C-alpha cells in the first residue's frame, strides 16, 4: 500500500517536472532567461529617468532584439576594457561608446568587421596612417595592402579641419581608431538603440554614405530594376528575418546588404564587404583584386539564388568590358597633365591648377560612376553620368593643355 503511494507520487512528480521542463523550453527565451537582479535594476532605473526626458531612446531600445533578450542599458553603457567610466546616478557608465561595447557579445562579427575596409582603411583614406597605431596599420595592410599605410589625403590640408570634421569624417569615422584600442563603430548601420538587422538591410542606410557623384551607389540602385522592385514590394518583404536564417522567401528582391553582406539561403553572412568584390572599382585604374576568382564566385552565388547563370554571366562580361574601356580612357586622360608636368609647363602643388580638377573629376566622378553603374544595373550612370562627361572632359583637357602650352611658349 505504502509502496504503491510512494511509487505513484514519484511517477506523478517526475511527469510534472518533465512537462514543466518541456513547457518551459517551448516558451520564448526572453521569458525563460530571467534577467538577473542587476539588469532589472539597471534598465528599470535608466529607463525611468530617460523615458521622460528622451522617450525616443528608450522606445527604440524597447523595440530591439536586445530588450527581448534582456540585454540591459548597462550591458552596453558599462565601461568596456580600457574605457573610463563616469558616476551617473548611482551607476558607472560611459557616454562615448565604441565597437568595444558590442564586442564582448559579438566578438566574431567584430573580427570580420576589423578585416573589412569599413574599419581602419576607411579612416586611412582621409587621415592616412596618422592616428592609427603601427599594429592597427599592419593588421589592415595584411588584408588591404597599400590602403592603410598611406599619407593623409591632400584635401586634409587644402580644405582644413572643419571640412574634415563635419564632412569626410562623418562617413569615414565608421572605421575611426578609438581610445580603448578598438576600431570603428557598429551603429553606423544598426543605429544606437534599435540594433536592427532590418534597418541595416535598408538601402537608405548604406546610402547615407554611398551617395553623390563620386560613389553613386544609392542613386544607381534606385534606378535599377532591383531598386524599383524594392520600392514597390518592400512592405511584403520580411526585413526582420534573423541573419542566419534569411532566405529568398523573406527577401526575393535584393538590397545593398543582400548582395554585399547577407547569407541568403544558407550562404555565409559577412561583415567584410570585400569578400564578394573582384575589382578595385574606386581606383583611377581598376585592377583585379588578389582574390578575384573566389570573390566573383561568391557574388555570383548570391545572384544565383534569384537568377540563372546566363543572365549573371552576361551582366559580368558586359561590366568587365566597361572596366577595360574605362581604364584606357583614364590612362589617356592622365597622360595629358602628366606630360605638362614632365615638360615643366604644369608646376606647383596638386590642386592649384584648373587642369588638375578636370582630370580629378574625370576619374573620380565619371570613370568610377560608369564602372559602378555597369555592375549594379544603372544604365543612365554608365552613359549620362559616365561615358558622356568623360568624352566632354577629354576635349576640355586637350583644350586646357593647348592653352597652357601657348601661354608657356609666350612666357619664354
Candidates 120, 141, 172, 382; binder of ligand HEC (CB under 6 A) is 172
Task: Determine if 120 is a binding residue for ligand HEC (CB under 6 A).
Answer: no
Residue 402 CB, shortest distance to ligand HEC, in Å, is 31
* Binding characters for ligand HEC, 314-333, by CB under 6 A (x = yes): -x------------------
Burial per residue of 364-378, b for 16 or more beta-carbon CB atoms within 10 angstroms, e otherwise: bbbbbbbbbbbbbbb
Q: In angstroms, how far is CA 107 from the centroid of its own chain?
A: 18
Piece of the chain touching ligand HEC by CB under 6 A; list 13-21, 128-136, 256-264, 379-387: 256-264
Residue 412 CB, shortest distance to ligand HEC, in Å, is 37
Residue 335 CB, shortest distance to ligand HEC, in Å, is 22
Q: Is residue 93 classed as helix, strand or coil in its secondary structure?
A: strand
Binding-site size for ligand HEC (CB under 6 A) equals 121
Nearest CA-CA partner of 150 in 175, 122, 170: 122
Segments in 78-147 forming alpha helices (H): 100-103, 107-115, 120-127, 134-143
User: Which parts of 376-405 interact with ligand HEC (CB under 6 A)?
Assistant: 376-377
Nearest CA-CA partner of 256 in 336, 187, 201, 183: 201
User: Which parts of 210-239 interact with ligand HEC (CB under 6 A)?
Assistant: 210-212, 215, 217-218, 221, 225-226, 229
Nearest CA-CA partner of 231 in 241, 221, 240: 221
The string of DSSP codes covering 193-211 is TT--HHHHHSHHHHHTTS-
Task: Determine if 285 is a binding residue for ligand HEC (CB under 6 A).
Answer: no
Angle at 71 between CA 117 and CA 251, to 5 degrees: 55
Residue 361 CB, shortest distance to ligand HEC, in Å, is 14
Q: In angstroms, how far is CA 102 from the centroid of its own chain?
A: 16
Q: Name the residue nearer to ligand HEC (CB basis): 211 or 345.
A: 211
Candidates 115, 129, 176, 280; binder of ligand HEC (CB under 6 A) is 280
Task: Determine if 365 is a binding residue for ligand HEC (CB under 6 A).
Answer: no
Q: Which long-range contacts (CB under 8 A, 24 or more apart) does 406-412 make?
A: 408/345
Candidates 242, 290, 350, 402; binder of ligand HEC (CB under 6 A) is 242
Task: Determine if 102 is a binding residue for ligand HEC (CB under 6 A).
Answer: yes
Task: Determine if 115 is a binding residue for ligand HEC (CB under 6 A).
Answer: no
Which grid cell sits at 225? Answer: 530594376
Task: Determine if 59 is a binding residue for ligand HEC (CB under 6 A).
Answer: no
Task: Determine if 358 is a binding residue for ligand HEC (CB under 6 A).
Answer: no
Task: Determine if 111 is a binding residue for ligand HEC (CB under 6 A).
Answer: no
Q: Name the residue nearer to ligand HEC (CB basis): 5 or 162.
A: 162
Residue 387 CB, shortest distance to ligand HEC, in Å, is 18
Nearest CA-CA partner of 274 in 109, 127, 118: 118
How far is it, in rounded angstroms, from Cα 410 to Cα 391? 29
Contacts of 152 (CB under 8 A, 6+ apart): 126, 127, 128, 130
How far is it, in rounded angstroms, from Cα 325 to Cα 19? 70
Residue 14 CB, shortest distance to ligand HEC, in Å, is 33
Task: Determine if 58 is a binding residue for ligand HEC (CB under 6 A).
Answer: yes
Candidates 110, 359, 363, 381; binder of ligand HEC (CB under 6 A) is 110
Candidates 85, 147, 325, 394; binder of ligand HEC (CB under 6 A) is 147
Residue 25 CB, shortest distance to ligand HEC, in Å, is 17
How far is it, in rounded angstroms, from Cα 59 to Cα 79? 23
Amino acid at each position: 500500500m505504502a509502496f504503491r503511494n510512494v511509487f505513484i507520487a514519484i511517477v506523478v512528480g517526475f511527469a510534472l517536472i518533465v512537462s514543466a521542463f518541456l513547457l518551459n523550453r517551448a516558451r520564448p527565451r526572453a521569458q525563460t532567461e530571467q534577467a538577473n537582479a542587476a539588469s532589472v535594476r539597471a534598465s528599470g532605473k535608466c529607463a525611468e529617468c530617460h523615458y521622460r526626458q528622451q522617450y525616443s531612446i528608450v522606445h527604440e531600445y524597447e523595440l530591439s532584439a536586445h530588450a527581448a533578450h534582456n540585454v540591459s542599458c548597462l550591458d552596453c553603457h558599462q565601461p568596456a576594457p580600457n574605457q573610463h567610466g563616469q558616476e551617473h546616478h548611482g551607476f558607472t557608465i560611459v557616454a562615448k561608446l565604441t565597437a568595444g561595447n558590442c564586442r564582448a557579445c559579438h566578438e566574431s562579427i567584430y573580427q570580420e568587421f576589423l578585416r573589412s575596409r569599413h574599419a581602419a582603411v576607411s579612416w586611412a583614406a582621409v587621415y592616412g596612417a596618422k592616428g592609427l597605431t603601427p599594429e592597427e596599420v599592419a593588421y589592415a595592410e595584411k588584408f588591404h595592402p597599400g590602403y592603410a599605410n598611406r599619407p593623409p589625403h591632400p584635401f586634409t590640408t587644402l580644405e582644413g579641419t572643419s571640412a574634415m570634421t563635419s564632412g569626410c569624417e562623418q562617413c569615414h569615422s565608421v572605421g575611426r581608431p578609438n581610445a580603448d584600442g578598438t576600431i570603428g563603430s557598429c551603429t553606423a548601420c544598426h543605429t544606437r538603440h534599435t540594433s536592427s538587422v532590418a534597418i541595416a538591410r535598408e538601402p537608405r542606410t548604406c546610402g547615407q554614405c554611398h551617395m553623390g557623384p563620386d560613389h553613386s551607389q544609392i542613386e544607381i540602385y534606385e534606378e535599377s530594376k532591383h531598386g524599383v522592385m524594392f520600392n514597390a514590394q518592400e512592405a511584403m518583404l520580411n526585413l526582420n528575418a534573423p541573419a542566419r536564417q534569411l532566405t529568398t522567401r523573406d527577401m526575393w528582391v535584393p538590397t545593398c546588404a543582400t548582395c554585399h553582406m547577407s547569407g541568403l539561403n544558407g550562404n555565409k553572412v559577412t561583415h567584410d564587404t570585400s569578400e564578394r568584390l573582384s575589382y578595385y572599382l574606386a581606383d583611377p585604374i581598376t585592377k583585379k583584386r588578389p582574390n578575384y576568382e573566389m570573390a566573383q564566385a561568391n557574388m555570383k552565388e548570391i545572384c544565383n539564388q534569384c537568377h540563372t547563370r546566363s543572365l549573371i554571366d552576361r551582366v559580368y562580361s558586359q561590366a568587365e568590358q566597361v572596366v577595360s574601356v574605362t581604364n584606357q580612357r583614364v590612362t589617356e586622360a592622365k597622360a595629358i597633365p602628366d606630360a605638362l608636368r614632365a615638360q615643366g609647363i604644369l608646376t606647383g602643388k596638386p590642386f592649384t591648377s584648373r587642369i588638375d580638377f578636370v582630370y580629378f573629376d574625370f576619374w573620380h566622378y565619371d570613370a568610377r560612376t560608369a564602372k559602378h553603374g555597369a555592375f549594379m544595373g544603372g544604365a543612365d550612370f554608365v552613359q549620362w553620368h559616365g561615358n558622356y562627361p568623360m568624352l566632354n572632359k577629354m576635349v576640355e583637357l586637350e583644350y586646357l593643355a593647348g592653352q597652357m602650352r601657348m601661354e608657356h611658349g609666350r612666357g619664354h
